[in-house]
Amino acid sequence: MIIVLNGTSSAGKTTLGKALQDMLPTPYLLIGIDTVVFALPRRYVNELWTQELCRYEYDGDRIAKIVPLPRYHAMVRGLHASVASLARAGLDVIMDHCLVEPAWADDLLAAFAGLDVLRVGVVCPLAVVEERERSRGDRTLGWASAHYDVIHRYLPYDLTVDTSRADPSGCAEAVAAELTRRFGR
């Protein structure tokens, strides 16, 4: 079983994933794009980020768009293949993702073909995700808004949860109920 949590940066995907891990009766691995990004050498996450992984386009001093470069595309494809392999090996996985490219959604759907997949849109108003981004102190300011208009365009959802309207356990309960309804799990 794969549960895909897709939403903009700071929408609450990882927190929801951890709540699901605590709630679901069987163990689920929580893996996301951050798992892959933070497996890189520190120099890529720091000084080489905008040279090797993503290019930022600005509107004044604000990030308006994040353009993934070839290495980042490869990391996303690798994430999809890895999660699919884990599921095919019999492990349940919660995948925390930011699908901002149509090709990524196509690759995800192809990689997960034949597997049980629950696709969950994790939504939250822009003002809330921007405040979360500022208050966390470990985020690049502007990521949430740069993804906001495209994040939910490319992947059809089985369920959508709003992390500004329900706490993590409430959102996890909704996901668990849909998992039971669709897959009997």
Question: Rounded CA gap, 43 and 29, in Å?
Answer: 27
pLDDT reported for residue 62: 80
Catalytic site residue 158? no
Q: Which of 34, 59, 61, 158 is catalytic?
A: 34
Nearby residues of 92 by Cβ (< 8 Å), 6 or more positions away: 1, 2, 3, 24, 26, 27, 28, 29
Helices (runs of H) and strands (runs of E) counted in the chain = 8, 7
pLDDT in tens, the chain (185 residues): 999 999 998 899 999 999 999 999 999 999 998 899 889 888 877 777 777 888 888 888 888 888 999 999 999 999 999 999 999 999 999 999 999 999 999 999 999 999 999 999 999 999 998 898 888 766 667 778 888 889 999 999 999 999 999 999 999 999 999 999 999 98
3-state secondary structure (DSSP) of residue 79: helix
pLDDT, residue 59, reads 86
DSSP state for residue 91 in the 8-state scheme? -
Q: Can you give the pLDDT at residue 144? A: 82
CA distances to 33, 102, 118 from 182, in Å: 26, 26, 8
Per-position b or e across 81-111, b if 16+ CB within 10 A of its CB: ebbbebbeeebbbbbbbbbbbeebbebbbeb
**The predicted structure's pLDDT at residue 138:** 66
Q: For residue 135, what are the CA distances in angstroms to 70, 89, 123, 128, 144? A: 31, 39, 18, 11, 13
**Whole-angstrom distance, CA of residue 138 vs CA of residue 124:** 19
126: left (phi over 0), alpha (psi -120 to 50) or beta: alpha
* Distance (Å, whole) CA 9 – CA 146: 9
Task: For residue 165, count CB atoms less than 10 angstroms from its CB and return exposed for 0-12, middle for 13-18, buried for 19 or more.
Answer: exposed
Asked whether the whole model's pTM tops 0.75, one would answer yes
How confident is the model at residue 182, as a pLDDT?
96
What is the DSSP code (8-state) at residue 113?
A: T
For the chain, list the domains and their CATH numbers: 2-183 (3.40.50.300)
